[in-house]
């Protein structure tokens, strides 16, 4: 949600900033801007629209200078207009600020500043920061930023440059990620690692409350008490190829197709065939602690919440531990209950989702042990959890989550297996599950072979106005996920339901115009889902069934069958979701939607 980048070093700043903004554009894409210190002052270019538009503008009106900041926006305060685009300036235009997050007391601060004579030109909360810095006392830029931030409530990841402090960027973090890419005589600051990768693999992550001053000669980090701190350097583990499209038309398609490989990465080194268990050292849960767990609560948002719903089936089935799955945004505002023996699992691709992070903090405060299932290494949730499982799925650029979802399921299967083996799951069952998990990436490879059929189907349903997705048991969350994928990228209204719930209301919607996608692999509820299909058929609904290879008994009932390989039932969601991801993708392409940047959305929701 909003991308921030800054550069100081021996190169021209503008091309580095533009390169960074291109890579960060998936975080927000309604407006964009850069500001550069050119030796005389701060020069800014910005506009409503995309990075390509700004590139063209810079072609006509270039910026020179070796220190600058940039921003790609997802609007919160104020419409996505040129005026509201970052960077924002003070009254004199000598300070420029880019910001991710929300200044919660912006209205109060603005009134105070206006009555002191400041002239505001935008509707944004961020502009208050520029005026606060303008007024702040201090010999150095960091002193001024520190003083300016003192009355600020809310969240921020920000970067500041100022005419009086040439060659200096100050960054600060509270609730929104900021990292410093450390190169040879050059530094790239950014809200995520993708922006720094072409220049360095070595990054220092700021902690909440940190402020850092960065020049071409080095950087210094101060913590909340203004003590100088060393923040250790981490190596980015993935390469530039993860950030490029290769031969694929969109990142979403690339990420769907790379799932066999991303699943291999999630499973690599974690399967213990002889012990019939999983190696999860990062969890920091000893055997003794595992046996003391009395309940598990999973907190997450969106697609990660759907993964959590599958996780409930996995953990209850294998380990016999009661599991609840909560929307993080709801959990965080409920009365915290202290229940001894609670393990809280926060699931988040980005590791930065504000609601999930706050839910994790609330759970911790209530005495729970907290673990994270997270993709982005070094992210806030990963750092604040007591332990966790990294997905190792590589950067997910498509705004619609796909490969992270299947890796989350794999991580939950590993977690379920690990807990279960500590709590008496028989060795033979453990071994069988390890073998099934080891074979899963190959099955996903086979499931992807359904793409040509899905393409043909997409053409028939691209004009639909609504769609219903039904599933049962461990595949009910897959129905929810299929519906979410379709609505977020194609803008077709879609709903997911537990199959048997259809007759309690949604059945009224069924007619010959309503596509009904039924997720029905062969498992113990298969026959029940078939009964629901009969009910749909009887009312003229058009059925697309996602079922298991070798299953020949649906022809009479359904309009289309998409078959995935048979598997151990608990693993089946990893396979059944594949045709649904592809279906959403191809329908969206046919409707000429911007698949990787759907309207109103942004990757990584770091505001409440
Ligand atoms: C949907 C999607 C979102 C995210 C949600 C949580 O395709 O991507 O629903 O799943 O915003 O994000 P993370 O997993 O980063 O916490």
Integer Cα distance of 535 and 558 in angstroms: 12
- Nearest ligand 1 atom to the CA of 405 is 10
**pLDDT range class, residue 549, cuts 50, 70, 90:** very high
Please work out whether the CB of residue 346 comes within 6 Å of at least one atom of ligand 1. Answer: no
pLDDT surpasses 90 at 115: yes
**Strands 493-498 and 466-471: what pairing?**
parallel
pLDDT surpasses 90 at 237: no
Please work out whether the CB of residue 353 comes within 6 Å of at least one atom of ligand 1. Answer: yes
Please work out whether the CB of residue 517 comes within 6 Å of at least one atom of ligand 1. Answer: no
| CA-CA-CA-CA torsion sign (63, 69, 70, 76) | negative
- Going by alpha carbons, the residue nearest to atom 10 of ligand 1 is 303
Please work out whether the CB of residue 191 comes within 6 Å of at least one atom of ligand 1. Answer: no
Position 38 scores a pLDDT of 86
Position 378 scores a pLDDT of 83
Phi, psi angle pair for 379, to nearest 5° = -70, 165
Residue 180 buriedness (CB in 10 A; 0-12 / 13-18 / 19+): buried
pLDDT surpasses 90 at 418: yes
- Going by alpha carbons, the residue nearest to atom 5 of ligand 1 is 302
- Nearest ligand 1 atom to the CA of 356 is 16
pLDDT surpasses 90 at 203: yes
How many angstroms does the Cα of residue 171 sit away from the middle of ligand 1?
26
Residue range 123-162, pLDDT digits in tens: 999 999 999 999 999 999 999 999 999 999 999 999 999 9
Residue 301 contacts residue 354 (beta carbons within 8 Å): no
Is the pLDDT higher at 171 or at 335? 171
Integer Cα distance of 433 and 414 in angstroms: 9
Please work out whether the CB of residue 304 comes within 6 Å of at least one atom of ligand 1. Answer: yes
**pLDDT range class, residue 460, cuts 50, 70, 90:** very high
How many angstroms does the Cα of residue 523 sit away from the middle of ligand 1?
28
User: With pLDDT > 90 as the criterion, what percentage of the chain qualifies?
Assistant: 84
Position 29 scores a pLDDT of 80
**pLDDT range class, residue 550, cuts 50, 70, 90:** confident
Question: What is the mean predicted confidence (pLDDT) over 575-580?
Answer: 98
Residue 585 contacts residue 489 (beta carbons within 8 Å): yes
Q: Cis omega before residue 87 (within 30°)? A: yes
Please work out whether the CB of residue 22 comes within 6 Å of at least one atom of ligand 1. Answer: no
Please work out whether the CB of residue 303 comes within 6 Å of at least one atom of ligand 1. Answer: yes
Question: What is the mean predicted confidence (pLDDT) over 47-62?
Answer: 95
How many angstroms does the Cα of residue 519 sit away from the middle of ligand 1?
22
Question: What is the mean predicted confidence (pLDDT) over 454-471?
Answer: 96
Residue range 258-304, pLDDT digits in tens: 999 999 999 999 999 999 999 999 999 998 999 999 999 999 999 99
Dihedral, CA atoms, 386, 392, 396, 402, nearest 10 degrees?
A: -90
pLDDT surpasses 90 at 603: no
- Going by alpha carbons, the residue nearest to atom 3 of ligand 1 is 302
pLDDT surpasses 90 at 238: no
How many angstroms does the Cα of residue 256 sit away from the middle of ligand 1?
15
How many angstroms does the Cα of residue 513 sit away from the middle of ligand 1?
30
Cα Rg of the chain (Å, integer): 25
Query: Which candidate, 170, 4, 21, places its Cα nearest to that of 99?
Result: 4
How many angstroms does the Cα of residue 420 sit away from the middle of ligand 1?
28
Residues annotated as catalytic (active site), given as ranges: 2, 603
**pLDDT range class, residue 40, cuts 50, 70, 90:** confident
Position 337 scores a pLDDT of 86
Query: Which candidate, 389, 455, 397, places its Cα nearest to that of 417?
Result: 389
Please work out whether the CB of residue 407 comes within 6 Å of at least one atom of ligand 1. Answer: no
Integer Cα distance of 28 and 583 in angstroms: 25
């Amino acid at each position: 949600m909003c991308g921030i980048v800054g550069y100081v070093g021996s190169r021209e700043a503008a091309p580095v900033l533009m390169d960074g903004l291109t890579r960060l554009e998936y975080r927000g894409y309604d407006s964009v801007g850069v500001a550069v210190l050119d030796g005389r002052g701060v020069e800014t270019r910005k506009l409503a629209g995309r990075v390509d538009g700004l590139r063209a503008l810079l072609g006509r009106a270039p910026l020179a200078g070796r220190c600058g900041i940039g921003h790609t926006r997802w609007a919160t305060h104020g419409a996505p207009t040129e005026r509201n685009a970052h960077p924002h300036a003070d009254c004199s235009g000598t300070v420029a600020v880019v910001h991710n997050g929300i200044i919660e007391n912006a209205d109060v601060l603005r009134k105070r500043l206006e009555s002191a004579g400041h002239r505001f030109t935008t509707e944004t909360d961020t502009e208050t920061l520029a005026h606060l810095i303008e007024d702040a006392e201090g010999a150095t830029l960091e002193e001024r930023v520190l003083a300016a931030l003192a009355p600020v409530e809310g969240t921020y990841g920000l970067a500041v440059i100022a005419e009086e402090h040439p060659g200096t960027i100050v960054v600060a973090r509270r609730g929104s990620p900021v990292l410093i890419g450390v190169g040879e005589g050059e530094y790239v600051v950014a809200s995520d690692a993708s922006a720094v990768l072409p220049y360095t693999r070595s990054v220092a992550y700021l902690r909440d409350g940190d402020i850092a001053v960065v020049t071409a000669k080095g950087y210094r980090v101060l913590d909340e008490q203004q003590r100088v701190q060393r923040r250790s350097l981490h190596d980015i583990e993935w390469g530039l190829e993860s950030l490029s499209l290769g031969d694929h038309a969109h990142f979403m398609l690339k990420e769907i197709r790379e799932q066999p490989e991303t699943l291999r990465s999630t499973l690599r080194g974690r399967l213990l065939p002889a012990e019939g268990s999983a190696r999860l050292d990062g969890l920091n849960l000893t055997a003794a602690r595992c046996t003391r767990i009395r309940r598990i609560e999973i907190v997450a948002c969106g697609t990660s919440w759907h993964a959590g719903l599958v996780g409930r089936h996995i953990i209850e089935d294998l380990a016999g531990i009661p599991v609840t799955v909560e929307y993080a945004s709801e959990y965080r505002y409920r009365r915290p209950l202290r229940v001894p023996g609670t393990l809280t699992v926060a699931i988040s691709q980005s590791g930065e989702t504000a609601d999930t992070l706050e839910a994790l903090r609330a759970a911790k405060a209530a005495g729970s042990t907290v673990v994270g299932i997270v993709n982005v290494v070094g992210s806030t949730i990963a750092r604040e959890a007591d332990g966790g499982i990294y997905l190792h799925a590589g950067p997910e650029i498509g705004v619609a989550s796909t490969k992270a979802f299947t890796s989350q399921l794999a991580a939950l299967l590993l977690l379920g297996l690990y807990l279960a083996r500590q709590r008496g799951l028989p060795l033979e069952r453990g071994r069988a599950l390890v073998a099934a998990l080891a074979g899963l990436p190959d099955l996903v490879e086979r499931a992807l072979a359904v793409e040509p059929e899905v393409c043909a189907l997409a053409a028939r349903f691209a004009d639909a106005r609504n769609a219903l997705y039904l599933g049962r048991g461990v595949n009910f969350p897959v129905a929810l996920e299929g519906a979410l994928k379709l609505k977020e990228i194609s803008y077709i209204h879609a709903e997911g339901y537990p199959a048997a719930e259809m007759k309690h209301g949604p059945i009224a919607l069924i007619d010959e115009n309503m596509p009904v996608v039924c997720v029905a692999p062969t498992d113990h509820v298969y026959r029940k889902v078939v009964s629901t299909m009969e009910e749909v058929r009887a009312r003229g609904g058009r059925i697309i069934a996602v079922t298991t290879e070798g299953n020949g008994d649906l022809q009479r009932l359904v309009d289309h069958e998409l078959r995935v390989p048979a598997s151990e039932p608990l693993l089946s969601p990893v396979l059944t979701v594949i045709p649904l991801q592809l279906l959403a993708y191809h329908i969206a392409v046919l409707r000429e939607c911007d698949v990787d940047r759907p309207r109103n959305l942004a990757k990584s929701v770091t505001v409440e």
